[in-house]
Structure 1
Amino acid sequence: TDTAGLGAFFARFYGYMGLGTMLLQMVLTGPLLRKFGIRVALFVLPLALLMPTGWVLLDPRLLTASLMRGTHSLLRYSVDKSAAELLYLPIPLEVKSQVKSFIDTFIWRSSDGLAGTLLLILISTFKLDPGRVSVVSLFLLAAWLVVAFGVRREYLNVLRRAIERRTLDPERVTANFLDSTTTEVLARGLETAGEQQALYGLSLFEIGRQPAWHPALRRLLENSSPAVRQRALRLLSDAGERGLVSQAEKMLGDPSLEVRTEALHYLVAHTGRDPLALLTLQTEFPDYAIQGSVVVYLARTGEPGHLPAAQLMLESMLTRSDEAAPLARKEAAVALGLIPPPSELHSELLGLLHDPELEVVEQALLAAGRIRSRDFLPFAIEKLSDAALKTPARTALVLYGDRAVGTLKDYLNDPDVALALRKELPEILSQIPTPESASVLADSLIQSDPGLRYDVLKALNKLCRRDRKLLPEGLDISDMLDAELMGYYRSLQILAAIDPLAGAQAARQLTGSMEGVTLVARALGERMDLEFERIFRLLALLYPARDVHNAYVGLTSHRPQLQANALEVLEHLLKPDLFKRLASTLDPEIKLPEKLRFAERFCHTRVDSAPEALRVLLHSGDSWLRACALFAIGKLKIVELADELRGQPRDEGDLVAETWAWAASRLETTTAS
């Protein structure tokens, strides 16, 4: 055997194959995938191998074998490899990272080993010559084609679902490009998609480096969503599409300012028109609509020479005195929100925020949120107290994002701020999914008002469900959990002292179905329900939220079997010391006397009588419970609490004041008689 000759042959062969693979990848693979997509690329290698394999069957020589091996080497690491990589596109990233490494390191290597083993068996055991081995190869190629058909069908189904659910990772699209198959699936989805799905699909077109002249994009210019129309026109403009001049002129009269601005940009970019000259264009919409578009366009260019013209035009919109003046000011507010900060024009927002027209103030609030200027942040927070402006104020604060978090924290924890306004802030923070907002909520868990404490905890639960990684590292809520447990046991002590029947029901987790109990007992039962819920909301921050929620539903179901199952789940879920502390609270089989004994040890106090329990409620800080306690004192004519009643503040609202007056008169009548 000529070892040196064989070595030289293989060196030249694989050298040429490597060079050919590189050229093929550069010249053919990309255009092939763009034009025909993965639906064709998956079949290129097996179909290409059919012919040289047949030649080996008919003429088993070195030349035909080299052609077969060369075809495999050229296509496997170019077209076929690229097609295989595209198959991962709709797969979730966390699944892909596990599966791909397993396939690359084990499956591919194992398949090469199995192929070599099969070849060895065919030659050494069955004594097949190369021609007959090629027959086996033809059967394997047929099986390959069948599998490829199945893979293609399933890929299209998975891709379609990923686009519908918006789970296709844009970063991975950026790293690759969308082949024609994916593009067609995406385009078909755009035609029937809602606003959010259409915007998501357009973002894939945009970052996937696709030809933006796809017919589906043109049809989106008539979409009912302004955001979709604007994004589609921008993609077409960026792609250099010049055949939309007449449609862009029509879109100058679009109801949406963003669409009109995009149409103006298109006409200036692709026809060279002067934007100011477009003000004279006849449309069915009022002049201030075009003025707003021109103001936004001029301000966005960033050219110093355009700013005076934009200021002059904006001033003319703000100083109108005709019947269209409110609409012009509203349009000006919308325009200011579309101008990137910082801009001198944004100073005009201050006047619009104090405009007498409600719709103008709404748009000014939204504009303040879009430009995220701290100058307008206090005004947006204060408008949460205005029922007419609460919704746009919330939206504006969410648009502020992290820039508002610090100020929201100050307002949330300021006792001088009205409680009603403070209770609006946790929900807003829950809609800002950042570690900063989660940290603010975690730091604000300790609140004297139970309702506000519940709102903060609920908002933190929402962020935790969205992404547990948002929670601060090392979050310690053990003291908070003990405080809630103590509050629950304290309420149980008070309830049992006032109404033993209601206390027994509460011990069995039946506070939600109390019948024939007093008003104060029912109010205490409602508070215990909230305390019980807060305990589980705290647990959901430490343990899997779904398991904790299921346990909560089971314990409050009033069905013994579900309650027992829930306790078993918690026993396996919680740490032993924590479960031990909670067991007396959670287990409905533990009777009231035993729970009260545990409560006495845990709270280091006891409540022995109804008057003592009512005295505690009078100092509870909960206006509703205070009113119920006052009512009970008056109804039962508990004279021994008369001095306590006279010392009670009566400035917590009409309910407390009226109930106090009624109870005081009842006690005075009893004393006099």
Structure 2
Amino acid sequence: MPMGWDIQTTKDFLTLRKEDYVNSSLLFMYLFLVITSLMIGKSVSTALFISKYGALYLPYAIIGQTILLTVLIAFYLRLSRRLQPSLLISFTLLLLASNAVLLWGMLHFKIAGVIPILYMWGGIFGVIAPMQVWTMGNFIFNTREARRYFGFISSGGILGFVFGGFVSKQLAPQVGAENLLPILTLLCCLAAWLVQLVWRRNRERIAELQTDAADLNVPVSLQQSALQVLESRYLLLITTLVTIASLATKIVDVQFNAITQNFIHDKNEMAAFLGAVNMYMGAGAFFLQLLLGGRMLDKLGISVTILVLPLSLLTSSFAALIFTALWTAVFLRLSDQVFKHSIDKSTTELLYLPIPADIKFQVKSFIDTVVLRVGDGVAALLLLLFTNVIPLINWKRPGSISLVNLPIILLLLFVAFRIRTEYLNALRLGFRNRGLDPKNVSQYISEPATWQELNTYLESPESDEILYALDIMMQGDQREELLLPHLRRLLKHPTVAIRLKALQMLLNLKRDSVVNEAEELLNDPDVQVRAEAARYIYSHGQTDLLTRIQSLPDYPDYIIQGGILLQLFQQNRPDNLPVAQLIFDGMVDDRGESGKAARIEAARVLGLIPLPVKWHCHLIDLLQDDAIEVVSQALESAGKSRHHDFIPFLLEALEDPRTKVAAREALVHYGHRIFGTLKDHLSDDEVDAEIRSHIPHVLSRVGGQDAVQILLDCLEQKDVHLRYKILKALNRLRSNDANLVFDEHKILNQLFAELKQFYRHSQLLLAFNPVAIPLTEAGGRQQDLLTVSLLERQDRAMERIFRLLGLLYPHNDIHQAYYGLRSYRSQVRANTVEFLDNLLNPTIRKFILPIIDSKVTLGQRVRKGRAFWKWKAMTKEEALAELITPSDRWLCACAIYAAGALHLNGLSESIQSMRESFDPLLRETAVRVIKGRKMTAEARL
């Protein structure tokens, strides 16, 4: 290690966090012991087998190993549902340790057939023991933590390669290869003890990360594990990747041994050589992991690191095809093992993290054991096929094995490319709400099955589904015998649109069997329903409509007048206008409280007719009525008319909290015709802020590319509240119409402006209160007003940042990510950070991750911001001086108060200047602070 590196520097370099250093170190040591044991066992078993039988018989041993492992894993998976993971792992390690002692005794007494058994045992050990280390890691760390710590933990395995290789190299020639097995036994026992220690330390954490198993379809057998994999596209792709990688690496392993046997023949020399290769390979892998592993995975993500192993195998296999020498064997081994047990291992383990914890243990065991060994078995079958059936391989020229492996490696590279996208999708599914559109109805209305489905929609509790079914039925051949009972029932539905639609369909059916129900609807609270009921009675009744209406008890005059007025306008006869004028005047003559209902009815009717220009004055009068209810109805009717005479009144109504909603809805009715006026008002700083704040909502409701352009043109607003409203409107547009185009340049400019402000607030917060606690973590702990205000500003800025990201990336993904970061569950937050780390491009990612990762401290975040924008460090007084400006009146007032409480005389001039402020809040705060200072000074005297 270079001089000057202390332990803390090393931990920082390996991306470790202080709070998880113990867990990471224990798993580091656990993996070190397991891999050391594995290297000793593999050196012994391979050397003994090659020396006695030769590489030609390796495929047969591999097939036997695969069959045996499949049986054992089926039993292992059943045990995993009955035993606590820590007990199962410890039991497995102790069983393997006892097996090593037994095999050593059998070798000592030269029992026939023990060497193939030893070779198969070594393969089983190499699958189960390392897999259990990563299973333990997946139980302890969440997604985000795993990215940081798996690289460091992998280094323990790499050092195990070095130490295991060193032991084999040094001791095999002296004591004999088979006499190394007792060392393996001791190391396995130590590893079992570490497992129990790690589990006891992390019981609460493991319980938090696990999902309730009762709510999950957890596989309990080999068959169920296989079905679980087949039912998931993501798990199936992982399985494919592992299988192909197993094929390629196993063929490389056989090719390495085949080349080696041509140069080394003694079993002890063979074991020493294998140990030496493992030692140098481990040393190289360790330095690779130290310099690149954790950092490469943390900075570049799996999209890059997952390609490392396939590319290295491709290079070495080409070399072995061209050159057959001992150095090519070493090159093959290094290209496989160096990357497989460092960068690729950490990457592959990361692929399992989106899988729920209780499913993960069984599924991961299945993939990492059965699937891995099946891949080895298929590799052995391929070698036999191309040796005995298709003589492509010449074992005297082991380089020819590359002809079989190169196509497999290319396929591995292809699958690695594919799984990068699926990993992102799997993370997305972890926190994204999904649903199916219920309105998926066949267009062939006459089909009985379609009618049956539509009938189920008519009985739905959802109004939208009922209206959809009615629309479909109106367009097709209406089966009256089935439809009539539904329509009769829907006449009493609480939704106005459904009652109205049912009446219209009954009118089209020419059926007079619901006249009584229609008469009841003459007293409906909605004028459109009343008018439609009147039309139905007029079309189907046997008596005069007016007679029918007058015969109804307690029927208000204004309802009769409104219904008649609407009928007169709908007949579209010029000679009806004088009569309509008389009726209307009678409805609006009473300007008092007693006439309010009649005036509301009159305003409602004016919105249901093509309003003649000469009648505009009547609606304008109602827009200026003293009763808010009348004004609200007049606003709605003005919007339906879409005439420019009413626009000034609609905009003015946006200022009044009582009428702003109705005014917005009315402006929406105008559609694109009003965009020019809305843009002028939105971009004009002289227009009242309340009016401007409602315009983005109107634009988003109307929609279209022009609305997007107007909002983007007005995005750079000093008013934070207005800027938020514009972003909210843009998000609505993006969500409603995926075909809209958003100017990426403008969005990025605003995004970096918001990020700069967020980081600046972080620096101000650090300077003023270095121990500030985020609002989500504060609980009941009290903090000063300025600290809380700065934290609130950051929360609001965070929402604006994510709304901007929602314009650059899939809207639903960003929306769910924002709420995922606010989850109380640490696993959800970690998965969300991991998801964004993979989703965002590197330029944006380096700014976003420090502000969303809860493991990044306030000081670390500020250092990032200072590096990004070349800011200097600031003192508390400098921070307050920057805040005492009128740009943010509330922060300014809080800073004035804080400066007074801290008796910072250097800020006296800034506080004095606020005494002359036009803002009463700033002026009164400054006066109070100055007065308090004087009283304190007098008290001291």
Q: TM-score with structure 2 length normalisation?
A: 0.49
Partner of 1:568: 834
Seen in structure 2, the aligned counterparts of structure 1 residues 276 and 479 have a Cα distance that, compared at 3 Å, is: same
Aligned counterpart for 2:497 among listed residues 227, 245, 270: 227
Paired residues for 1:628-667 under 5 Å:
628-648=894-914, 654-667=920-933
Query: What pairs up with 1:251-330 in 2 under 5 angstroms?
Result: 251-270=521-540, 284-320=554-590, 324-330=594-600
The correspondence for 1:198, drawn from 454, 462, 466, is 466
**Alignment map for 1:387-466 (pairs within 5 Å):** 387-466=657-736
Alignment of 1:326-405 (within 5 A): 326-341=596-611, 344-405=614-675
The aligned residue for residue 529 of structure 1 is 795
| 1:582 aligned residue | 848
- Partners of 2:527 and 2:562 within 8 A in 1: yes
- 8 Å contact 1:433–1:470 — kept in the other structure? no
1:625 paired to 2:625: no
- Residues 204 and 518 (structure 1 numbering): CA distance in 2 closer, same or farther, change over 3 Å? same
> How far apart, CA to CA, are the structure 2 residues paired with 1:554 and 1:268?
58
In 1: Cα distance, 2:922 partner to 2:591 partner = 51
Shift of 1:525: 1.7
Residue 493 of structure 1 contacts residue 606 of structure 1 at CA under 8 Å; is this kept in 2? Answer: no
2:444 matches 1:167? no
Match of 1:179 in 2: 447
Aligned residue in 2 for 1:488? 758
In our comparison, the structure showing a higher alpha carbon Rg is 2
Cα deviation, 1:377-397, whole Å, max 9, x if unaligned, reads 332232233233334334333
When residues 221 and 510 of structure 1 are mapped into structure 2, their CA distance, relative to the original with a 3 A threshold, is: closer
Cα shift readout 1:24-52 (whole Å, capped 9, x = no counterpart): xxxxxxxxxxxxxxxxxxxxxxxxxxxxx
Percent sequence identity over aligned pairs = 37
Of 782, 786, 797, 1:520 maps to: 786
- The 8 Å contact of residues 642 and 667 in structure 1, kept in 2 or not, is answered as no
User: 2: CA distance between counterparts of 1:192 and 1:583?
Assistant: 45
Q: Give 1:516 deviation, angstroms.
A: 5.7
- Tell which deviates more after alignment, 551-560 or 372-381: 551-560
- Post-superposition offset of 1:353: 1.0
CA contact (8 A) 1:405 1:437 kept: yes
Letter in 1 for 2:607: G
- Mapped to 1, the partners of 2:807 and 2:778 lie a distance apart of 25
| 1:598-609 mapped onto 2 (5 Å cutoff) | 598-609=864-875
Is 2:877 the counterpart of 1:611?
Answer: yes
- Tell me the alpha carbon deviations over residues 76-117 of structure 1, each in whole angstroms, 9 at most, x when there is no partner: xxxxxxxxxxxxxxxxxxxxxxxxxxxxxxxxxxxxxxxxxx
In 2, the alpha carbon distance for the partners of 1:256 and 1:510 equals 47
In 1, the alpha carbon distance for the partners of 2:916 and 2:472 equals 62
When the two chains are superposed, the root-mean-square deviation of aligned CA atoms in Å is 3.4
266-275 vs 564-573, which deviates more? 266-275
Determine if contact 1:490/1:603 at 8 Å carries over to the other structure: no
Instruction: Tell whether the 8 Å contact from 1:461 to 1:537 is kept in structure 2 after alignment.
Output: yes
Structure-2 separation of matches of 1:240 and 1:550? 51
Q: 3-state SS of the aligned residue for 2:524?
A: coil
**In structure 2, the residue corresponding to 1:340 is in which secondary structure?**
coil
Cα–Cα, structure 1 residues 483 and 235, in superposed 2: closer, same or farther, change >3 Å? same
- Do the aligned partners of 1:253 and 1:290 also contact (CA within 8 Å) in 2? no
Looking at structure 2, the residues matched to 410 and 620 of structure 1 have their Cα atoms a distance apart, in angstroms, of: 27
Q: Given that residues 205 and 212 in structure 1 are in contact (C-alpha distance below 8 angstroms), is that contact kept between their aligned partners in structure 2?
A: no
Equivalent residue for 2:487, pick from 195, 214, 217: 217
Q: Distance in 1 between matches of 2:910 and 2:687?
A: 30
How far the C-alpha of 1:671 sits from its partner, in A, is 6.7
Alpha-carbon distance in 2 for matches of 1:586, 1:185: 47
CA contact (8 A) 2:522 2:549 kept: no
Q: Is the 1:461–1:541 contact (alpha carbons within 8 Å) kept by the matching residues of 2? A: yes
Distance 1:522 1:622 in 2: 15
Q: Structure 1 408/209 Cα, relative in aligned 2: closer, same or farther at 3 Å?
A: farther
The structural deviation recorded for 1:264 is 2.7
Alpha-carbon distance between aligned partners in 1 of 2:489 and 2:855, rounded to the nearest angstrom: 65
Within-5 A mapping of 1:72-91 = none
**Displacement of 1:572 after TM fit?**
1.9
d(CA) in 1 for partners of 2:891 and 2:644?
40
Q: Residues of 1 paired with 2:614 and 2:477: CA distance?
A: 36
Q: Where do 1:121-200 residues align within 5 Å?
A: 167-168=439-440, 173=443, 176-187=444-455, 189-191=457-459, 193-200=461-468
Cα shift readout 1:558-579 (whole Å, capped 9, x = no counterpart): 8776655444322321222222
8 Å CA contact 1:333–1:349 kept in 2: the answer is yes
Per-residue deviation at 1:452? 2.4
Structure 1 residues 312 and 483: CA distance shift in structure 2, 3 A = same
Q: State how far apart, in whole Å, the 2-side matches of 1:654 and 1:454 are.
A: 25
What residue number does 1:81 align with?
none
Q: Which consecutive residues of structure 1, in runs of 5 or more, have no partner in the other structure?
A: 1-163
**Cα offsets for 1:253-287 (capped at 9, x unmatched):** 43321122112323444569887787766553122
Please tell me whether the aligned partners of residues 279 and 291 of structure 1 are also in contact (alpha carbons under 8 angstroms): no
In structure 2, runs of 5+ residues without a counterpart are: 1-435
> Whole-Å Cα distance in 1 between the matches of residues 734 and 752 of structure 2?
21
For 1:564 and 1:194, how far apart are their aligned partners in 2? 37
Shift of 1:339: 1.0
Conserved 8 A contact 2:439-2:465: no
Work out the CA distance in 2 between the residues paired with 1:339 and 1:329: 16
Residue number in structure 1 paired with 2:285: none
Task: Give the CA deviation at 1:433.
Answer: 4.2
Distance 1:178 1:448, change over 3 A: farther
- TM-superposed CA distance for 1:243, in Å, is 4.3
1:238 is matched with 508
Alpha-carbon distance change, 194 to 324 in structure 1, aligned in 2, over 3 angstroms: farther
Please tell me whether the aligned partners of residues 634 and 662 of structure 1 are also in contact (alpha carbons under 8 angstroms).
Answer: no
3-state SS of the aligned residue for 1:469? Answer: coil
Deviations 1:223-251 (A, max 9, x none): 34333222212112123334445554454
CA distance in 2, matches of 1:639, 1:566: 46
Separation in structure 2 between the aligned mates of residue 560 and residue 233 of structure 1, nearest angstrom? 54
Take 1:472 and 1:269, find their aligned partners in 2: how far apart are those partners? 52
Are the structure 2 counterparts of residues 650 and 423 from structure 1 closer, same or farther at C-alpha, using a change threshold of 3 Å? Answer: farther
Within 1, Cα distance between the matches of 2:837 and 2:831? 10
1:645 Cα offset (Å)? 1.6
Q: Which residue does the alignment assign to 1:499?
A: 769
Residues 1:207 and 2:207 are matched in the alignment = no
Q: CA deviation at 1:319?
A: 2.2
- How many residues are aligned here? 502
Alignment partners' CA distance in 2, 1:511 and 1:449: 29
C-alpha distance in structure 2 between counterparts of 1:166 and 1:249, whole Å? 35
